[in-house]
Amino acid sequence: MSSVNRVLFDPPGPRARRRIAVATVVSLALIALLIVLALIQFGRNGQLAADRWTPFTHWPYVHFLLQGLLGTLKVTAMAGVFAFPVGAGLALLRVSTNPLLRWPATVFIEVFRSVPLLLLVYAFLLALPRYGVNPALFWKLTIPIVIVNSALLAEVFRAGINAVPRGQAEAGSAIGLRYHQVMRIVVVPQAIRIVVPALVTQFVSLLKDSTLGYVVGYPELMKQGQNLTVYTHLLVQTFLIVTLVYVLLNYLLGVVARALEARINARPRARAVAAAEPGEAAPGALVR
């Protein structure tokens, strides 16, 4: 729970405290009313009945969904293993002084940042097999995720590289390091330290992308949930539970991101550099 915003509000005097107390009671009542209405709507359609929820405490159901979770983790991990290095490489190409390296990287990044992931997945499912490109189902899901997320990660890394003060690179060349040495020894380590929170956010986005297994038919959590509903017809319960699992997973990753950010900002030198931090640098990464 966040504390009161001090930009907008001075510490409250007696009249303001009374108003806040009234508003607290009223808003509590309204929120409670909302929750009760939702529960009533659920109950009126018989969705609160115990026999619709208790199956999820039985091992076979839990096991079925856990297999889906394993699929999700597999896709996420494999996609991450490829997307992060490729994204870093693309970022280095994008900031290179050589136009032969820079232009293809720029085109790749700009194109695959602006195209929806689902379109790429459909391309892999429907169009590419005609031209002989027909990988296994797992890769039909993972490769598009890698392509799109490497473009987004490239932008995050590039923002980090640009956020490292120019003096660092200049000092590197001043002591006689060549370009690739300046990058490797001076700039990139600092850049990575700056963008670690944004990288974790992008990883959360990667995990959310794995839900496209539903479209492809790969048995990750979303698809397993849907398979379950085909047999059990417990639609709202299954999808609600699956959604809650995703929220929990991503929330935990967010906690990790905030902890990393706190650790970085605890060090005085890094804090000065982090003050120039780009923040949520990757468009298109958000709503997925």
Partner 1 sequence: MHTVLAHQGTLWHGFLLTLELTVLGYVGALVLGTVAAICRVSPVAPLRVFGGVYVEAFRNVPLLALLLLFVFGLPDVGLTVSYFKSAAICLALSAGAFVCEAMRSGINSIGLGQAEAARAIGLSFSQSLRHVVLPQAFRSMVQPLVNVFIGVALGSALAAAVGVDELTRQTQFLNLQYAVGAPSFLAAGVLYFALAVGGGAVGGYLERRVKVHR
Residues within the interface to partner 1 (CB under 8 A)? 1-2, 4-10, 12, 16, 20, 23-24, 27-28, 31, 41-42, 44-45, 47, 111, 113-119, 122-123, 126-128, 130-131, 204, 207-209, 211-212, 214-215, 222, 226, 229, 235-236, 239-240, 242-243, 246-247, 249-251, 254, 279-280, 282-288
203 Cβ neighbours under 8 A, 6+ residues apart = 76, 80, 253
Q: Which is nearer to partner 1, 130 or 166 (CB)?
A: 130
The smaller minimum CB distance to partner 1, of residues 85 and 129, is found at: 129
CA dist., res. 95 & res. 25, Å (int):
55
Compare residues 229 and 265 and give the one whose CB is closer to partner 1.
229
- Other beta carbons within 10 Å of 265: 14
Of 168 and 232, which CB lies nearer to partner 1 in the complex structure? Answer: 232
* DSSP string for 90-135: HHHHHT-S-HHHHHHHHHHHHHHHSS-HHHHHHIIIIIGGGGT---
At how many degrees (to 10) do helices 235-265 and 59-94 cross?
40
What residue ranges in the chain does DSSP mark as E strands?
none
- In the complex, the smallest distance separating the C-beta of residue 71 from partner 1, rounded to whole angstroms, is 14
Cβ closest to partner 1, residue 184 vs residue 208: 208
Q: Whole-number minimum distance, CB 111 to partner 1, in Å?
A: 7
CB 42, min distance to partner 1, A: 5
DSSP category for residue 187 = I
Nearest Cα to Cα of residue 149 among 216, 75, 219:
75
**Comparison of 162 and 168: residue with beta carbon closer to partner 1:** 162
Backbone angles phi, psi at 132, to 5 degrees: 90, -5
If residue 197 lies in a helix (H) or strand (E), which one and from where to where?
helix 188-209
